[in-house]
Structure 1
Amino acid sequence: MAQAFTAAVVQMVSGSEVAMNLASAGRLIEQAAQAGARLVALPENFALLGRREQDKLAVAEPDGTGPIQDFLAEMAQRHGIYLVGGTIPLRGADPQRVRAACLLHGPDGRRLARYDKIHLFDVDVSESAGSGERYRESASIEAGDQVVTVDTELGCIGLAVCYDLRFPELFRVLLAKGAEILILPSAFTETTGAAHWHLLCRARAVENLCYLLAPGQGGLHDNGRRTYGHSLIAGPWGELRAECTESGEGVACADLDLAALQRLRARFPAVQHRKL
């Protein structure tokens, strides 16, 4: 197992054209790889953030094949990296909805894991009915029901997506399954991000004594939605290791040291002291 390595989170402002989004993602992945990153994570909806929620149905792919999945495999193999493909729309059982699938590819391009977003963002952000801050992901997305970790040479990786961040019990299950590195592709709204993003990311990292990589969308999108950005890497003591502090595209890199993580867990065994 690689005890120390560089990881990167990619921040994007994805729009309604898949080809343009993939071109942007490819350029940012290359930038991260050139900076020495062996693990690179893309944000939620990196390949499409359409004008309407139903737009994702038109580009949804069957599991295992399609231009977006082929892109992830090619990028991982080309750069010899572990690549987390944010979320992409994969076809599910309901033809009117998709699965929001987070995919992990290894350095040889082979897919190692798939996690389907469990918690769907069905909320009214604002008290004002006319503000437009209303979201119903369940209208176009089928929820997943499987918690996913995968052992790699870099460490044990646990996958979650965006709104999952608000459900600490999910992360406890990931921890119980061996997670050392939590990866959370996101597209937090500007409103909820300003209120809760840093607080929740740091809490999930420190309470589980894990590294947390949180790549996000960060800017104004074709549908008029504004996302918070601040893509970050948090350490197991809750410290910020790296962050994209500006809106717009960006890459933030930090070194992850799994030997140091295990030493911290040994001298501060909070996760072993749980009673419930």
Structure 2
Amino acid sequence: MRYTALALQTACDAVNADSHPEDARARMHRSIDRVQAQVLAAKAFLKGFNGYEVQLVVLPEYWMTGFPMAESREAWQAKAAIPMTGAFPERLAAFAQAAGVYLCSNHYETDPNFPELYFQANVIYGPGGDTVLRYRRLISLYAPSPYDVWDRYLDVYGAKSVFPVAETPIGALGTVASEEILYPEIARMLAFSGAEILLHPTSEVGAPGLTPKHICKRARAVENMAYVVSANSAGIHGTPVPAASTDGMSIIIDPYGRALAEAGTGETLNANALIDLGALREGRRKTGMTNTLSRIPAAAFAAGYLAAGHAAPNRTPDGRMIDRAGALASQQSVIDRLIAAGILK
């Protein structure tokens, strides 16, 4: 099976300057209108260009809102975090259905089980208008994470919710959020559950040369014999930060770490490429040194991970939002422990 995947590099119209939640929500609705029109136009253009249907679209990180700056947890939750059900998810599901694509959106969302928090989520909506996958960003220094309320989160959602993989007609889809591409374990856990295509919404510093995240996109593809579809912002407008600081570098990478398509700067559909699902599956079934997935000595690593004294779960077991000072203090305690253990010098 072959089809076109698109990492849409689109601009973010940030809500930071909106003082009232209703103004922010109106801006977010306008962003949905604009980006849906771009996807529909891109789908028509690319079908005429290469004859293959666009069936997978990845949007950049927090494309509807930007990221919190000076806002309190309450303020950001009120204006930028959407409920799991209701008007916004219904619009995004209808967007995917109208375009006839699997649509990966990264956005902030609230959860009635954790009312004091919001999570950064990657949600995949299907062409049938259904929600096919929800992943909450696990590693985040300042924003809430399931790991902060780990025991309760597992009680509510179960272990399988942490690294979900969606089996779809276009392949087994898993998602990685933003800087999590730097952590090989996230993508590996998805690959262990069968993920064939790693969807990576990001909003990262653009550069003419390689950056740590750009290097790791290729590494994650090679390590896991998977495609990586990574969509970056085409600038974030409406904040004091220079808009083009996060621009360019949207990319689609094949299981051998080769860039099939990469965008320059600005709003563009140029990061599009054919996904050859049959070739990927054939490669994963063959013997030989290049079949890295079949050669992982997982048992040799298990004890080391269990014994490691790194970041502990349940950073905020009471389910409240940690502030920046508290987050840095928690990180410092981990560093101090690793120094005491002789791991860090």
Q: Shared fold by TM > 0.5?
A: yes
Corresponding residue to 1:104 among 121, 124, 136: 124
Name which of structure 1's ranges 4-13 and 218-227 shifts more when overlaid on structure 2. 218-227
2:273 equivalent to 1:254:
yes
CA distance in 1, matches of 2:112, 2:180: 20
5+ residue gaps, structure 1, are: 123-136
Report the structure, 1 or 2, having the larger helix content: 2
2:283 equivalent to 1:264:
yes
In structure 2, do the counterparts of structure 1 residues 194 and 237 end up closer, same or farther at CA, with 3 Å as the change threshold? closer
Q: CA RMSD in A?
A: 2.3
Aligned pairs (5 A) from 1:114-125: 114-120=134-140, 122=141
CA distance in 1, matches of 2:262, 2:2: 19
In structure 2, do the counterparts of structure 1 residues 234 and 166 end up closer, same or farther at CA, with 3 Å as the change threshold? same
Q: Which residue of 2 aligns with 1:164?
A: 180
Aligned-pair CA distance for 1:75: 1.1
Q: Which residue of 1 aligns with 2:82?
A: 61
State the SS of the aligned residue for 2:65: coil
Aligned-pair identity in percent equals 26
Aligned-pair CA distance for 1:87: 2.6
Q: Contact 2:9–2:233 at 8 Å: present in 1 too? A: yes
State the SS of the aligned residue for 2:12: coil
In structure 2, do the counterparts of structure 1 residues 12 and 92 end up closer, same or farther at CA, with 3 Å as the change threshold? farther
Aligned residues: 255
CA distance in 1, matches of 2:225, 2:67: 36
Higher Cα Rg, which structure = 2
In structure 2, do the counterparts of structure 1 residues 231 and 108 end up closer, same or farther at CA, with 3 Å as the change threshold? same
Q: Contact 1:51–1:222 at 8 Å: present in 2 too? A: no
Q: Which residue of 2 aligns with 1:238?
A: 257
> What letter corresponds to residue 258 of structure 2 in structure 1?
E
Q: Deviations over 1:113-140 (max 9, x none)?
A: 11111111x3xxxxxxxxxxxxxx32xx
In structure 2, do the counterparts of structure 1 residues 61 and 204 end up closer, same or farther at CA, with 3 Å as the change threshold? same
| TM-score normalised to structure 2 length | 0.68
Q: Deviations over 1:251-273 (max 9, x none)?
A: 22110011111222225312111
In structure 2, do the counterparts of structure 1 residues 90 and 169 end up closer, same or farther at CA, with 3 Å as the change threshold? same
Aligned-pair CA distance for 1:50: 5.4
> What letter corresponds to residue 269 of structure 1 in structure 2?
N
5+ residue gaps, structure 2, are: 16-26, 47-52, 151-161, 299-345
> What letter corresponds to residue 238 of structure 1 in structure 2?
G
| TM-score normalised to structure 1 length | 0.84
Q: Which residue of 2 aligns with 1:176?
A: 192
